[in-house]
Amino acid sequence: MNVLVVNAGSSSLKYQLFDTATEKVLAKGNCERIGDGGLFTHKLPDNPDLNVKIEIDIPNHTEATKIVVKYLTDPVHGVVKSMDEIEAVGHRIVHGGAYLKESVLVNADVLEKLEGCRDLAPLHTAAHLMGIHGCLEVMPNTPQVVVMDTAFHSTMPAEAYTYPLPKKMCEKYHIRRYGFHGTSHRYVSGEMAKLLDKPVEETKIVTCHIGNGSSISAVKGGKVIDTSMGFTPLDGIMMGTRCGSIDPAIVPFIMEKENMTPAEVNNFMNKKCGFLGVTDELSSDCREIEEGYMKNDPICVDTFKLLAYQIKKFIGSYTAAMNGLDAVVFTAGIGENTPLIRALACENMEFYGIKLDAAKNDAAHHQGDSLEISAADSKVKVYVIPTNEELVIARDTEAIAKAL
């Protein structure tokens, strides 16, 4: 089945067209700067000579969808003959709130539930809805499916998702740990479970999705029992520009000292902290910090140590939560490409049964394959597994569309 996977942001619409029989990407691209000019890229993995990169007016998400369909069906740059050959569309949704706990076909009820998520993730939800409405308008007869980043975490027990705030307030405002990057944690934990020599029900895996945004999950028996991101994607470990968990009392303290409004402090914690803040605005990009680390720049050395220490603490606490550990997985931009962070996070973990093979770790870069980086005598397997959130979305979409 040909499934179009759509990831709509406020000013962008990324897409990939999958042939689910072979799980191959036939074409992929991005509509950027929607509502502010417009830049369109279209790539054909099997035919890069026919790739497209053009500046084109893209006033809204409906027009973006029209451009995507036009190029996918184009006689020269296209990969299908007509729109009918795009058999289903799968949408990535960041926040499914308390309502959407598994992938589902879009209908009026689902659209209403998504509207209900606006309060929890206003920017993301608004963008997703524009993407869905755009596709519904352009492809009214094609089944549309939503796949939520929060869904895989919905199995967490109450002790993992509850914040110690007044119960009534949590209920009134739906305040709880939701967790994010669920599609990624689901994919890499599933791949890891296949590599372990035991039934999935008995597996205990910590998945470390370390990218510009980062989260760590404890996946026991194939189900999430805890995850580091929380009510929003700001919780957990330090990220590119996000601070992660801090003493909550720091928030009103800064607001008072710096005369910030709630919106300003929220923006500050999301955009000015993490790597960017800790390195004194040197960079939010791990690669630049790695360069500094190699030159022994003390700020960069301290930043890497801080990140690695936070990862290490989550691995330790999730091992306690699962009463054991079979495997640790590193994935996403930093997890897949920065051996130094993996080495620092896993150093001095022999007590937990974790021992890396330095040469294998150094050699493991994003290659599309799952690569073991643990030493032969490590009790716990450590792997680098490139994530593939789009493939999970395509698989779920196919399963739902086929059942119609």
Q: Among all residues, which ones are annotated catalytic?
A: 149
Give me the amino acid identity at 27.
A
Minimum distance from residue 383 beta carbon to ligand ADP (Å): 17
Minimum distance from residue 77 beta carbon to ligand ADP (Å): 26
Q: DSSP letter string over 232-246?
A: STTSSS--SS---S-
Exposure of 215 in the CB half-sphere (CA atoms within 13 A):
28
**Bridge partners of 5?**
16, 90
Instruction: Pick the closer one to ligand ADP by CB: 32 or 326.
Output: 32
374 DSSP assignment: B
Instruction: Pick the closer one to ligand ADP by CB: 72 or 286.
Output: 286
Instruction: Pick the closer one to ligand ADP by CB: 251 or 340.
Output: 340
Cα-based torsion angle of the residue sequence 21, 23, 27, 28 in order, rounded to the nearest 10 degrees: 140
Minimum distance from residue 208 beta carbon to ligand ADP (Å): 12
Minimum distance from residue 12 beta carbon to ligand ADP (Å): 12
Q: What is the rounded distance in angstroms from the CA atom of residue 363 to the CA atom of residue 368?
A: 13
Query: Could you tell me where the beta strands, DSSP code E, fall in 20-140?
Result: 24-32, 39-43, 52-55, 88-93, 104-105
Minimum distance from residue 212 beta carbon to ligand ADP (Å): 3
Which residue's CB comes closest to ligand ADP?
333
* Planar angle of CA 238, 241, 244, nearest 5 degrees: 30
Minimum distance from residue 7 beta carbon to ligand ADP (Å): 10
Q: What is the rounded distance in angstroms from the CA atom of residue 358 to the CA atom of residue 208?
A: 19
Residues 6+ apart with CB under 8 A from 75: none
Q: What is the rounded distance in angstroms from the CA atom of residue 92 to the CA atom of residue 319?
A: 30
Instruction: Pick the closer one to ligand ADP by CB: 131 or 240.
Output: 240
Binding site for ligand ADP (CB under 6 A): 211-213, 240, 285-287, 332-334, 337-338
The dihedral through the CA atoms of 252, 257, 259, 264 has a sign that is negative
Instruction: Pick the closer one to ligand ADP by CB: 142 or 337.
Output: 337
Instruction: Pick the closer one to ligand ADP by CB: 97 or 213.
Output: 213
Contact between residue 250 and residue 277 where contact means Cβ atoms under 8 Å apart:
no
Q: Which tokens go with 134?
A: 């755009």
